[in-house]
Amino acid sequence: MEFSAQYMFKNTYKSLISEEVYLSAQKNYTKKNGCRDLVSKCREVAARGDPDGNGLNEEVNILCRNATSTCATEVASTFLVAKKAAFDIAVDLVPILEISPCEYYLPVHVYLNQPSSQQALGVPLNFTYISKAALDSYTPGTLGTGDLARPDDSSFKYVLSNNISVALINGDRDSRATWISAENFALTVDYPNHEAYARAGLEPITTNDSYQGGLVRQYDGFSFSRIFQAGHAVHAYQPETLDRVFSRTIFRKDVATGKKRASGGYSTDHSGNGYAKQELPDSSKTATCMVAGAFQEKNVWDPILEVLKAAQGGGNGTQGGNGTQGGNGTRPGKSSSVQVQSGRYMVVAPLVFAVFWLLA
């Protein structure tokens, strides 16, 4: 949360908000009874009144919901001012009820819930994108427990203290989970090798013989990687680079090259520039589908939808089970255009609630 406005003002692409907006958001974070104070109070009271995080203490819930809501509206909303999508600053923000030209989730519902797909996968239930009941439990409205203001780093420190490999991976075009925030967390988390990690430098991540996919700071099994030209779903933008980071971490190798054993005091050096500038893609192309790091000229799901339309006698390609029929975990069955519209709405609705994600 502390770095949300900083990212929008000073990132590795270009400034997306004015200094006035940036300073206002920072003031809202640091002022008395502002975002920072409210989060601290929430966690203090939760530690006493709801240490197990069961959400049964309404006094705690109210305080934490208030912290979540205040931080979201007064600090983390700068991407709205910038008119950029929270998960990818290369994409212009569209009205919340406007259907995206690349309706990714809707065709996924359609495809996965076809009888042939279900039989091939061996699944007896329809796929549903999201559970509204679960979503409501974490929203900062009249429902919910304000969990987004509660988390601490105790579990993270436990994992690191037990010599378990950990890789933090952030796309550098993501304003929701900013790489600046993640890097700061990695540098400040208190665990036995904290000082050694903090002394480590940055090295380029060698993806293949012709491409360096990002920068990494690493000490033994703990690493933080900033992935170039990637939004929130890093794997969708830079799948090869992510595969390199993942496999090297699993096999306890250095993330930079995969050629060295990441143990016994291994550390990256200081050769990289953390703020090396990048160029954003042409904004005129970002209203299309993103596939393997590149925006496409047309919706890549069109062939699937055309096949479905033909199979259904010239319908709109959205019948036959869209993942919203009958709620979560329902048996495959018929769907309707009303349910498809509901499915579309559920695609955009999480973007509203995601505004309240605090710890990115």
How do residues 26-63 score in pLDDT, each as one tens digit? 999 999 999 999 999 999 999 999 998 888 899 999 99
114 and 171, same domain (yes or no): no
Residue 185 CA to residue 190 CA, distance in Å, equals 10
10 and 46, same domain (yes or no): yes
Quick one: what percent of the chain has pLDDT higher than 70? 72
Position 313 in a domain: yes
**Domain range enclosing 350:** 105-133+284-354
165 and 227, same domain (yes or no): yes
pLDDT at 351: 31
User: Stretch 271-285: mean pLDDT, rounded?
Assistant: 73
161 and 245, same domain (yes or no): yes
16 and 59, same domain (yes or no): yes
Position 256 in a domain: no
3-state class of 90 per DSSP?
Answer: strand
Domain harbouring 233, CATH code? 3.40.50.12670
Position 273 in a domain: no
Position 303 in a domain: yes
109 and 87, same domain (yes or no): no
Residue 97 CA to residue 7 CA, distance in Å, equals 26
pLDDT at 233: 86
Q: Picking from 6-20, 172-186, 298-312, which range would have the lowest pLDDT averaged per residue?
A: 298-312
Q: How many CB atoms lie within 10 A of CB 202?
A: 23
How do residues 53-66 score in pLDDT, each as one tens digit? 888 899 999 999 89
Residue 148: pLDDT band by 50, 70, 90 thresholds? confident
The answer to whether residues 150 and 48 touch, using CB atoms and an 8 Å cutoff, is no
239 and 168, same domain (yes or no): yes
Give the end of a domain, one of 62, 91, 120: 91
pLDDT at 237: 87
How do residues 62-90 score in pLDDT, each as one tens digit? 999 899 889 988 998 888 888 888 888 88
Position 261 in a domain: no
242 and 159, same domain (yes or no): yes
Position 274 in a domain: no
pLDDT at 218: 97
The answer to whether residues 312 and 336 touch, using CB atoms and an 8 Å cutoff, is no
Give the end of a domain, one of 91, 116, 143: 91
- Number of domains comprising the chain: 3
Position 262 in a domain: no
325 burial via Cβ count (<10 Å: 0-12, 13-18, 19+):
buried
pLDDT at 342: 27
The answer to whether residues 25 and 78 touch, using CB atoms and an 8 Å cutoff, is yes
124 and 204, same domain (yes or no): no
246 and 167, same domain (yes or no): yes
Average pLDDT, the chain: 78
User: Stretch 185-208: mean pLDDT, rounded?
Assistant: 94
Residue 147 or 223, more confident? 223
Residue 168: pLDDT band by 50, 70, 90 thresholds? very high
Residue 132 or 165, more confident? 165
User: Stretch 160-183: mean pLDDT, rounded?
Assistant: 93
Residue 332: pLDDT band by 50, 70, 90 thresholds? very low
H or E element in which residue 222 lies: strand 222-227
